[in-house]
Amino acid sequence: MGNRATHQETCDAVCCDKFENKSPDFFYDPLASFRVNNGAPIKSLKKACYSKAKTVWPLPNHELPFFPEFPVKSVTSEHSFNVISVVSSGAYGKVLRVVHKEEAKNYAMKVLSKNMIFKENLVQQVKVEAQIQVMCDHHPFLVRGPFRWQNKRNLFIVTEFIEGGDLHQLWQETGCFHEDLIKIYVAEIALVLDFLHNAGIIYRDLKMENLLIDGHGHLKLIDFGLSKWLSHGDRCHTLCGTQQYMAPEILRLEPYTHAVDWWSLGVLFYALLQGKFPFFGNSEVPAAQETQLDFSADDVNGGSSGSESARRLIRGLLTVDPLKRVRSLRTVKNHAFYHHFDFESLRSKKVDPLPLVLKQKEKKRYFLDEIDSNAIMFD
């Protein structure tokens, strides 16, 4: 199935100072989210990666920062839940699957260490993440975060628990998606991006791992760890994101706008249609002088039955020049690929993707059997 990554590796945003003895290539794991130099603008990746860092010893509890975005005295606390399992763990804390004692309802609880947040200079980033979660969790395709609080040592963020796994897992297990399902999912993501951008937010880490599938087959976007407040017309300078999905202007260390999120959508669209990523396999990031990528019919149709209108929209999203790129919901809505498609019905969840999702999951056994049959066996 082409240049599919064989494993999933997702990590927290990190500072390059932690890896001063590593080559800059260390950061170019295409599936890892990263943020260099704690968000400071940089002129050179090499310079950012080789800066010196001093050892920061743990602070006593009374010196740990207070986060006004997180209540201290809350009706809901860690004692309101029973822990079912550990979903994931990282340098800054862990994510737990928990059940609310009174509601008997499952949630995901993120527990973040204040000491590590302070040590890695991520206080402002965590504050922004909390602010965005509070403001945006009413959107139908964003994960809800009904509870948050803090104690002396930790921050707690509780969100709805999504049972269906993430989009990346389904893609790895089943291969190319049917175009009807892709049409729904790309539209749901476009609605989310439009909502965030109109709210003055740039997301910066759109990828399949950050899209969960709920029990009705709809997508839920999670993780605002690399998001930032950004007004229209303003630009960012931080090198951050996930390499497979990063726009050329980010990789060239140029100032960039909300248009980078639409590029990431184009990469995701391409991957769902073809079963492989468009870059970092046999090809490199498009050169700075190129205006558009070369999508030959054989390339786009490899392993899929993509329509011409789908390929044209992908080309529009993956236009190297951000000023010429498809970068708005209005443009997506008016594209031939979405002719007669009702975005408002989708927004109100009157469009049902579940039958298509179940049909996609039926491919799992046959897809994995095909991989096994192509494996080389040695005596």
Contact in structure between 65 and 45 (CB atoms under 8 Å): no
Contact in structure between 273 and 179 (CB atoms under 8 Å): yes
**From CA 302, how far away is CA 274, in angstroms rounded?**
6
**From CA 39, how far away is CA 237, in angstroms rounded?**
8
**From CA 224, how far away is CA 93, in angstroms rounded?**
16
Look-up of token digits 């149709």: 301
Residue 157, helix vs strand vs coil: strand
Angle formed by the axes of helices 259-274 and 308-317, to 10°?
Answer: 150
- Tokens coding 133: 């979660």
Q: What is the 3-state secondary structure (H, E, C) of 105-116?
A: CEEEEEEEEHHH
**From CA 367, how far away is CA 275, in angstroms rounded?**
11
Q: For the chain, what percentages of helix, strand and coil (3-state, to nearest 5) are there?
A: 40, 15, 45
**From CA 358, how far away is CA 53, in angstroms rounded?**
50
Q: CA dihedral in degrees (112, 113, 119, 123; nearest 10)?
A: 40
Contact in structure between 67 and 128 (CB atoms under 8 Å): no
Active-site positions read 205
**Closest of 213, 35, 222 to residue 136, by C-alpha:** 222
